């Protein structure tokens, strides 16, 4: 009986410990998942690393001030299947991003689609329909 109680307690503790990790990776915890915004700017950095690839870009606001944005997407393993690579973005390149805005109004977006300055979509595998 003691071994079964111990097992149940350890299972509960393990589940409770795992919950914050799953919440960290949950888009609704950080983004307005039912809304989309479009932003255009100049790439300053692209990190193709786990747990999420991160794109940094500078966007000039309506008032002329430069806003430093962070754009997050999924893991490199998923992105590779979608045609992305570590060379998908180059510092100095102008891009347009569509995605979910942050819940708190900061300069943060969860990328759903990305486009080069000429309108070419980034990361769509050849022959695959646009999502």
- What is the average pLDDT across 88-107? 96
41 and 86 share one domain:
yes
Are β-strands 94-101 and 108-116 bridged in parallel, bridged antiparallel, or unpaired? Answer: antiparallel
Structural Rg of the chain based on CA atoms: 19
Residue 80 has pLDDT above 80, yes or no: yes
Predicted local distance difference test score (pLDDT) of residue 5: 58
User: Does any domain span residue 121?
Assistant: no
Strand, helix or coil for residue 13: helix
Query: Is the full-model pTM beyond 0.85?
Result: no
Q: What is the pLDDT of residues 117-126, one digit of tens each?
A: 999 999 876 5
Q: How many domains does the chain have?
A: 2
User: Does any domain span residue 122?
Assistant: no
Predicted local distance difference test score (pLDDT) of residue 29: 85
Cβ neighbours, 10 Å, residue 121: 14
User: Does any domain span residue 97?
Assistant: yes
Encode burial over 90-116: b for 16+ CB neighbours within 10 A, e otherwise: eeebebbbebbbbeeeebbbbbebbbe
112 and 58 share one domain:
yes
Domain residue limits at 2: 1-26
User: Does any domain span residue 18?
Assistant: yes
What does DSSP assign to residue 88? S
Structure tokens at 50: 């786990």
Give the model's confidence band at 27: pLDDT under 50 very low, under 70 low, under 90 confident, else very high.
confident
Predicted local distance difference test score (pLDDT) of residue 92: 98
Q: Read off the CATH number of the domain in which 84 is found.
A: 2.40.50.140
User: Does any domain span residue 131?
Assistant: no
37 and 18 share one domain:
no
Predicted local distance difference test score (pLDDT) of residue 6: 53
User: Does any domain span residue 98?
Assistant: yes
CA angle, corner 70, sides to 69 and 74, nearest 5? 150
């Amino acid at each position: 009986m003691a071994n079964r109680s111990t097992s149940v307690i350890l299972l509960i503790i393990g589940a409770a410990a795992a919950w914050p990790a799953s919440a960290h990776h949950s888009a609704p915890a950080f983004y307005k998942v039912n809304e989309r915004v479009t932003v255009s700017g100049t790439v300053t950095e692209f990190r193709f690393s786990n747990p999420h690839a991160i794109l940094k870009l500078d966007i000039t606001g309506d008032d002329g001030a430069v806003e430093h944005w962070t754009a997050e997407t999924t893991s490199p393993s998923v992105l590779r299947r979608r045609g992305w690579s570590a060379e998908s973005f180059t510092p100095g390149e102008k891009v347009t991003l569509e995605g979910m805005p942050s819940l708190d109004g900061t300069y943060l977006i969860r990328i759903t689609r990305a486009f080069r300055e000429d309108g070419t979509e980034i990361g769509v595998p050849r022959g695959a329909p646009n999502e």
